[in-house]
């Protein structure tokens, strides 16, 4: 976790994956993210891009395309508004929140055009490599009421991407685990405040049995 250019080369070498999150954006951090991405590419380490707020401002949108042009990204993880906008299928973003969706086809279209895995979060999460498409329908509405859960799942995706060469499976696993933990956390939560705390505990305590019972990932590839 660094955005200092002098620190990046050594830090990337210690990592199993690199997550680029454009949430707090400025000219210096853009340069640092591109440097980190290029170092990761050299080391053949997967890069996950979270295009926070893409579509809300031209600066953010241009930054996403700049990163994608200069860095080989393994997985793009964004909300429905961000992915829909980048795919050119609609989608509206206000600040960092998705206000309108580009539809379930947005993930597939963006995956095709960028040649990456795209993980689109929403009421149902859609993950696609442009050919195969998977829907994860587990989760809870409280996940959308806590600012930062999207950034959290990007980091979880990085954890999974760091231990497999199958980037589609990494994204599916990360979203399945995160949304299942969200369901379990919601059961003992009074509202967004207690949910955030319970979510972290649920991630730590999630068992294989709970994941098998509650996890919901389904292939929805169009034939």
- Residue whose entry in the numeric block shows the structure tokens 């299928």: 89
Given a cut of 70, whether residue 162 has pLDDT beyond it is: yes
Instruction: Identify the pLDDT of residue 111.
Output: 97
pLDDT bin (cut points 50, 70, 90) of residue 101 is low
Instruction: Identify the pLDDT of residue 188.
Output: 93
Give the residues across from 20 on adjacent strands. 49
Given a cut of 70, whether residue 128 has pLDDT beyond it is: yes
**Structural domains of the chain, count:** 1
In a domain, 223, yes or no: no
> For residue 71, what are the domain limits?
5-216
Given a cut of 80, whether residue 93 has pLDDT beyond it is: no
Q: Which residue has the higher pLDDT, 50 or 219?
A: 50
In a domain, 199, yes or no: yes
Across the chain, mean pLDDT equals 92
Instruction: Identify the pLDDT of residue 85.
Output: 92
Q: Looking at residues 145-171, what average pLDDT do you find? A: 95
pLDDT bin (cut points 50, 70, 90) of residue 97 is low
Burial class (CB in 10 A: 0-12, 13-18, 19+), 207: exposed
What is the DSSP pairing of strand 92-94 with strand 125-128? Answer: unpaired
In a domain, 58, yes or no: yes
Q: Looking at residues 94-112, what average pLDDT do you find? A: 78
Instruction: Identify the pLDDT of residue 102.
Output: 67
pLDDT bin (cut points 50, 70, 90) of residue 99 is low
Q: How many other CB atoms are found less than 10 A from the CB of residue 127?
A: 32
Helix/strand/coil for 22: coil
The pair of three-digit structure tokens given for residue 78, joined into one six-digit string:
């964004």
Given a cut of 90, whether residue 215 has pLDDT beyond it is: no
| CATH code, 141 | 3.40.1190.20
Q: What percent of the chain has pLDDT over 90?
A: 82
Radius of gyration for the chain, computed over Cα atoms and rounded to the nearest angstrom: 17
In a domain, 123, yes or no: yes
pLDDT digits (tens, 9 = 90+) for 164-204: 999 999 999 999 999 999 999 999 999 999 999 999 999 99
pLDDT digits (tens, 9 = 90+) for 29-56: 999 999 999 999 999 999 999 999 999 9
What is the DSSP pairing of strand 97-100 with strand 117-121? Answer: unpaired
pLDDT digits (tens, 9 = 90+) for 1-25: 899 999 999 999 999 999 999 999 9
Any idea which of 81-85, 117-121, 122-126, 216-220 has the lowest mean pLDDT? 216-220
In a domain, 171, yes or no: yes
Instruction: Identify the pLDDT of residue 214.
Output: 87
């Amino acid at each position: 976790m660094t955005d200092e250019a002098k620190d990046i080369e050594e830090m990337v070498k210690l990592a199993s994956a690199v997550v680029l999150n454009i949430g707090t954006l400025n000219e210096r951090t853009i340069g640092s993210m591109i440097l980190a991405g290029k170092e990761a590419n050299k080391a053949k380490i997967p890069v996950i891009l979270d295009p926070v707020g893409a579509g809300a401002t031209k600066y953010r949108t241009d930054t996403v395309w700049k990163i994608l042009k200069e860095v080989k990204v393994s997985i793009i993880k964004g909300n429905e508004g961000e992915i829909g906008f980048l795919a050119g299928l609609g989608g509206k973003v206000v600040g960092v929140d998705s206000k309108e969706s580009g539809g379930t086809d947005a993930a597939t279209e963006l995956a095709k055009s960028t040649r990456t895995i795209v993980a689109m979060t929403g009421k149902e999460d859609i993950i696609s490599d442009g050919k195969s498409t998977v829907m994860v329908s587990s989760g809870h509405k409280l996940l959308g009421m806590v600012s930062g859960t999207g950034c959290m799942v990007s980091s979880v995706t990085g954890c999974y991407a760091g231990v497999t060469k199958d980037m589609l499976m990494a994204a599916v696993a990360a979203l399945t685990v995160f949304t299942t933990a969200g369901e379990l956390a919601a059961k003992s939560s009074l509202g967004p405040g207690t949910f955030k705390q319970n979510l972290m505990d649920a991630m730590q305590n999630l068992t294989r049995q709970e994941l098998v019972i509650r996890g919901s990932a389904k292939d929805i590839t169009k034939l």
